[in-house]
Chain A
Amino acid sequence: MAKPKDIELLLNKDLLEKLAKFQAIELEDVEIELEEIEFSVGGGGGGIPSALLARMGFEFALIRDSANRITSLLGGPASPMGMGVPQMMPVAPGLAPVAPAAKPTELIPETMGVPVSEYPGSIVEVKLGATKAEGGTRAMSYVIGGEKVLPFFNFQAETPHKPVIALDVFDWPKVPLSKAVKMHFREYLEDTAEWARVCVDKFGAEMINVHLLTIDPLIEDAPPKEALKKVEDVLEAVDVPLSIGGCGDPQKDYAVFKAICENIEGERLLINSVTLDMDIEGTARLVNDNDNCVIAFTSMDVNKARELNRKLYDFVPKNQILMDTTTAALGYGLDYAFTVMERCRLAGLKGDPELNHPMSSGTTNAWAAREAWMKMGPEFAPRELRGPIWETVTGMTLLLAGVDYFMMMHPAAVDALKTIINQFMSNDKPAEPTEWVSVRM
């Protein structure tokens, strides 16, 4: 039933240079519609004019396309269908190996080179929250971003700032939560400020994400004034920086963000989020005029992430923008989330000036995977562990793709990911190799 959609070409500069060799392919009689071809350049665009890039991208698409069409016209499958089609692979052929001149009697000395990467770009630094000295009332503020190499490639460069873990709280007691999560917060569902306080005092939240769901016209349509009061209560209850989440309705979110930005001064709040279908200029001005930060949210699409950032640059300094390219749960599209983030981070490091922002992840989405909460056979028990490990593995995978700001839910997963982050930040080399072969476990 599945049919392939358009193929998106992933091109980088190396490939484009190689492609230049194939310019001579005869395609004179073909009408060209450049707009039809979607491609992305990961190479920072040094040296090759964009028209040429576009042209070469098209040539390549055509070669690939016609090869596919030939295959399908002449009997082969048009292109692979569905998921997880087994791959065939060339395995070493039985070529006669060249006989070694003489067998070595001693180990041949070798030195391992250190892989070098000199990326021209780096990720911008963003400061979240403001202490008294900085004009706010928080006990601490955080700087995230600043990376010059891929996540925790410590042998190439130190990780400048520790990623931050924020816990989610909701202002609507009926928010659907899995049992494993709800059991930790059941008593506080009616009191957003108290819920936030417990997250900080008991579960080590470094920041709090207040999700204002009751403002949703389809839930309670609570007025902006009410939302503002709730945020003020949370600010009073905790001393960590806050992020403010809307309900997903573009008009309503804007109205609520406006009330909050205009009435709460100096706290350097993180507004979650601005999207392509919102009043981008209006939201961006709110963020800029009140010295807050914003999450630019797009749906798993590198080009849309770039487009939204570009639109924001007219109104907000770069160092007030985080990007969130959508988190999908382990088993439910984590591979797409991982790869989009990895591509954004790599592009930013390679010098793409529109993708070099710290990244944010709604890691709580891990709970959308039924394996995280569903009752399953006894061999998969207890589900009280399955959920937290699901959120942890989802978070760790995205940590390795470049996430700097995590929005999470389950206390055990928060604790686990915090530990993992500390382990990655530390450069402790094991003093001795670990003996395991002869160990009775």
Chain B
Amino acid sequence: MPAKELSPIEIYQKLPRTNCGECGEANCMAFAAKLVNREALLDDCKPLMEPENKEAYDDLWALLKPAVKAVEVGVGENALTIGGEYVFHRHEFTYFHQPAIAVDVSDEMSEEEFDLRVKVLNDFSYEYIGMQLTLDMLSVRSTSGDPDTFAAAVKKASELTQKPLILCALNPDVMQKGLEVAADRRPLIYAATKDNWKEMAELAIQYGCPLVASSPQDLDTLKSITHTLEAYGVEDIVMDPGTAPNDHMAANLNNLVKLRWQSVNDEEEHLGYPILGLPLVAWTVEEEDTIINEWNETVLAALCIDRFVDAMIIHGISGWALLPQIILRNNIYTDPRKPVSVEPELIVFGEPDELSPVMLTTNFALTYYTVASDIESAKLNSYLLVVDSEGMSVESAVAGRKMTADTVAEALANFKVGDRVKHRHLVIPGRSARLSGEIQELSGWTVSVGPLDSSGIAKFLDEKWTPFPED
């Protein structure tokens, strides 16, 4: 049942209602609320795990299970969950697991290129509003078609990174050799096709690994393969509907939409699995410059992120191309149920004294975290007045008159900023420059217009700040 239709009461009625607190919640109602929001695990309820409660457990499991199965790749602390989604649109509930990004290597690459790619996978990290955004998996392809060459590449890959692996080879003999060296890492096997499904299913069962069902541009056959794999005993399946180069964006979109719509909205059997996207197909097209391949790959990756893909393989490793991908997936997979804004208040950084700068920003969460992180990283002893802009950024708040000279003057008074400092000098964001005169008039504070972007605060204060500018 899609998540949007569940109520805590419905769940509560099926719980043991002992209020034992063993789950860490105060009572069963609180636990039920957590379950409905997918913030707690059913298995945390100890009484429910007793044999006499098996029926209730099964009922609850069926109620709470995601429409798209959560498939685990990798082992131990490096394991990664893909899928586990409940809804079609993010606003219907939330999306849970960001699409995993796998970097491509192949068994015929030069050692130098192979090593560089694994290094990028391991080391790439970008700090974004207090989080470290990283890449997730290594995909090892057999371009040689030779089992031993593939085994050597897989072995090397598993030594160079602890992140989960995808093994790509359509020949079961080649795949077998790869699995012999890396099965203990629980890699994702790519792929079972209409031609090799039986051999691949045997390998997946023998080695206990998740398996991709692949049927590019033929969804009937894709469903046929997933159904057959299920009947064969494969439990963890990922679906590859094929990704075509950029000329076929519409076909790509339509395949993704059909699959996810059927699994989530129509609850079709045999289709409740995560989807694999392949932006790297952009590199199969001959272009004048590899920059175009990488650009096109980024566009395909953005499509995959915007529309339901749960894991994807990319070939390009340039920062300018990776950055929009990791930030887009972070944005789309942000929980829309969480607050957009922070509480308006006067924030203290470091150990300011009565001559320290007083700056201003709005209470839009992204604005606030960006400004705060710039002030923190520059170690500026200062005050930051966070004005209630109804959760809008500076530019929109000024344009939409959510931050006005009135609200600024009011905030200065309400938070008694004048009690903290001796001076009356306020630095406002560059994007609110048009308010400077009015703020000065209404509040009586001298106003300086700061930089357009908060990355310039340290330099600005260094060059321009003085507590008493008139003197």
Contact = CB atoms under 8 A, between A and B. Distances in A.
Given A70-B33, A91-B70, A112 B334 contact: no
Contacts of A22: 7, 9-10
A374 B7 CA distance: 46
Instruction: Indicate the member of A4, A68, A108, A441 with the most B CB atoms within 10 Å.
Output: A441
Interface stretch (B154-162, B389-397, B413-421): B389-397
Interface in A331-355: 331-336, 338-339, 342-343, 346
A389 B324 contact: yes
B364 A333 contact: yes
A299 B38 contact: no
Contacts of A338: 306, 331-332
B450 interface: no
B465 interface: no
A393 B91 CA distance: 20
Instruction: Indicate the member of A64, A370, A389 with the most B CB atoms within 10 Å.
Output: A389
A113 B164 CA distance: 34
Interface stretch (A82-90, A131-139, A202-210): A82-90
Contact of A393 (B197, B302, B315): B302
Interface string A151-179: 01111000000000000000000001000
A437 B84 contact: no
Contact of B340 (A336, A390, A439): A336
Contacts of B434: 216, 218
B331 A331 contact: yes
A440 B108 contact: yes
B249 A423 contact: yes
A213 to B, nearest CB: 11
Interface string A124-144: 000000000000000000000
B5 interface: yes
Contacts of A95: 58, 61
Given A70-B30, A397-B302, A87 B96 contact: yes
B270 A425 contact: no
B5 A107 contact: no
A188 to B, nearest CB: 23
A76 B342 CA distance: 20
Contacts of A176: 452
Interface stretch (B40-48, B180-188, B353-361, B439-447): B40-48
A88 B339 CA distance: 19
A175 to B, nearest CB: 12
Given A10-B92, A83-B130, A437 B142 contact: yes
Instruction: Indicate the member of A89, A154, A275, A377 with the most B CB atoms within 10 Å.
Output: A89
B335 A85 contact: yes
B66 interface: yes
A433 B216 contact: yes
Interface string B72-97: 10000000010010000111101011
Nearest to B261: A115
| Interface size class, chain A | 35 or more
Nearest to A75: B26
Interface in B365-386: 365-366, 368-370, 372
A114 B220 CA distance: 11
B320 A93 contact: no
Interface in B101-119: 104, 106, 108
A59 B345 CA distance: 32
A393 B334 CA distance: 17
A349 to B, nearest CB: 12
Nearest to A304: B400
A441 B335 contact: no
Given A91-B84, A155-B254, A396 B141 contact: no
A400 interface: yes
A378 B218 CA distance: 42
B143 A425 contact: no
B250 A76 contact: no
A251 interface: no
Given A91-B84, A331-B128, A5 B341 contact: yes
A97 interface: yes
A428 B319 contact: no
Contacts of A437: 141-143, 168-170, 190
Contact of B334 (A14, A74, A335, A385): A335
Interface in A380-411: 380-383, 385-386, 389-390, 392-393, 396-397, 400
Contact of A379 (B295, B319, B331): B319
A116 to B, nearest CB: 9
B228 A89 contact: no
A410 B251 CA distance: 28
Interface in B244-285: 244-251, 253-254, 257-258, 261-262, 265-266, 268, 270, 278, 280-281, 283-284
Contacts of B261: 115
A371 B43 contact: no
Contacts of B99: none
A35 interface: no
B225 interface: yes
A342 B222 contact: no
A1 interface: yes
Nearest to A248: B399
B409 interface: no
B220 A2 contact: no
A64 to B, nearest CB: 7
B299 A392 contact: yes
A341 to B, nearest CB: 11
Given A430-B251, A433-B217, A439-B143, A2 B30 contact: no
A386 B318 CA distance: 10
Contacts of B92: 10, 12
B34 to A, nearest CB: 7
A74 B26 contact: yes
A87 B224 contact: no
Given A89-B97, A428-B250, A430-B251, A82 B130 contact: yes
Contacts of B337: 7
B64 A90 contact: yes
Nearest to A277: B401
Contacts of A333: 340, 364, 366, 393
Interface of A: 1-5, 7, 10, 12, 14-15, 18-19, 22, 25, 60, 63-64, 67-68, 70-71, 73-76, 80, 82-85, 87-93, 95, 97, 99-100, 103-115, 150, 152-155, 176, 216, 218, 248, 275, 277, 299-300, 326, 328, 330-336, 338-339, 342-343, 346, 368, 370-371, 374, 376-377, 379-383, 385-386, 389-390, 392-393, 396-397, 400, 416, 419-420, 423-430, 433-441
Given A390-B324, A423-B249, A426-B250, 14 more contacts: A1-B372, A85-B338, A93-B61, A100-B232, A107-B228, A330-B331, A331-B327, A338-B331, A400-B303, A419-B246, A420-B246, A438-B145, A438-B170, A441-B284
